[in-house]
Amino acid sequence: MSLITNVMDHSLDDGYAEAAARKKSDGDGGMPKTLRAKLGLAGGLVLAALIVTVGAAQARVEAPVVAKEREELIDRIDQETDAADRLENSVDELRADVSARQREALRDSGEGDRSTLVGILSGATAVHGPGLRLVVDDAEDAGGGGDGDARSASGFSDTGRVRDRDMQRVVNGLWESGAEAVSINGQRLTALSAIRAAGDAILVDNKPLVPPYTVLAVGDGGPMSDRFQNSADGLYLHALQENYGIRTAISTEDDVRLPAAPTVIVRTAQPITEKGTS
């Protein structure tokens, strides 16, 4: 208690108190004594008040201008956004029109069943029929893996993720096993489709897909499934499942439906005729 009482009675340190008393006795403390010092202090206070006043007045004057500029900027952003939306809708309409004309050109070839077959094989026509469903998904723990294997040597780290070249082999294996039409996550594949990687994402015709990857293939379901699973690509997929935990499931379906490709590039090959020699 005596310590608390001493602190309360002597709240100012003795050294500070002595220095303040000495400064006061020397005439150095307190307000300025001379007229010049008083005028300097008053001038400083007036200048500070003037700066604060001018700043406040300027801010008040500029506030409506800033608000107006902000509204104009918001209006310009809204206008440009609307213009971009209109252009995007126009592009979609033109793309749909081009695709429709391409499909019409294939149908109007005048060759009956052959034109229908061309439309199916080119991806220009939506199809349905018996086939199979193959689901390929990343490993449950997609963070582990080893080194010194074919997948690492090809430029991919072993993270248990499905890679673009894995899906390339799956699709090529299905085509080789007798698939007549193939899609991945609803994206119809054509002879010109590209399966590529962008970081960890897989792109099909420049459209990103997310796992699980559901592959639908139209064809003779049972025999096609057997051929695929016994092929090199099917064994490759099985090795991914055994070694890296890639999850797969394959089943035959009585009726699978595949949409038409969003865009179809029509190209016509012409035979080369050799000129006779005279």
DSSP letters spanning 129-195: EEEEEEEEE--SSTT---SSSHHHHTT---SS---HHHHHHHHHHHHHTT-SEEEETTEE--TT--E
- Please say if the pLDDT value at position 221 is more than 80: yes
Q: Does the pTM exceed 0.75?
A: no
Could you give the CA distance from residue 39 to residue 32 in angstroms, rounded to a whole number? 9
Please report, for the domain that includes residue 186, its CATH number.
Answer: 3.30.70.1880
Structure tokens that stand for 273 in this block: 């005729």
- Do 97 and 177 lie in one domain? The reply is no
Q: Is residue 97 part of a domain?
A: yes
- Do 131 and 254 lie in one domain? The reply is yes
**Which candidate, 225, 133, 248, 238, places its Cα nearest to that of 186?**
133
Q: Is residue 18 part of a domain?
A: no
Give pLDDT tens digits for 29-69.
Answer: 556 667 777 777 788 888 888 888 888 777 777 777 777 78
Contacts for 252 with CB less than 8 Å, ≥ 6 apart: 130, 131, 132, 133, 221, 222, 225
- Please say if the pLDDT value at position 25 is more than 80: no
- Do 246 and 140 lie in one domain? The reply is yes
- Do 246 and 146 lie in one domain? The reply is yes
Sign for the pseudo-dihedral over CA of 78, 89, 263, 171? positive
- Do 200 and 93 lie in one domain? The reply is no
Q: Is residue 6 part of a domain?
A: no
Structure tokens that stand for 35 in this block: 């007229």
- Do 164 and 225 lie in one domain? The reply is yes
Confidence of residue 235 (pLDDT cuts 50, 70, 90): very high
- Do 51 and 148 lie in one domain? The reply is no
181-184 and 195-198 beta bridge pairing: unpaired
Q: Is residue 209 part of a domain?
A: yes
Residues 21-27 have a mean pLDDT of 65
Number of structural domains found in the chain: 2
Higher pLDDT among residues 245 and 275, named by residue: 245
Q: Is residue 67 part of a domain?
A: yes
Q: Is residue 22 part of a domain?
A: no
- Do 98 and 144 lie in one domain? The reply is no
- Do 152 and 100 lie in one domain? The reply is no
Q: Is residue 244 part of a domain?
A: yes
Confidence of residue 238 (pLDDT cuts 50, 70, 90): very high
Most confident of 32-46, 53-67, 167-181, 187-201: 167-181
- Do 97 and 163 lie in one domain? The reply is no
Confidence of residue 254 (pLDDT cuts 50, 70, 90): very high
Residue numbers of the domain that contains 61: 33-108
Q: Is residue 16 part of a domain?
A: no
Of the candidates 108, 141, 171, which is a domain's last residue?
108
For the ranges 10-19, 142-151, 228-237, which has the lowest average pLDDT? 142-151
Higher pLDDT among residues 181 and 98, named by residue: 181
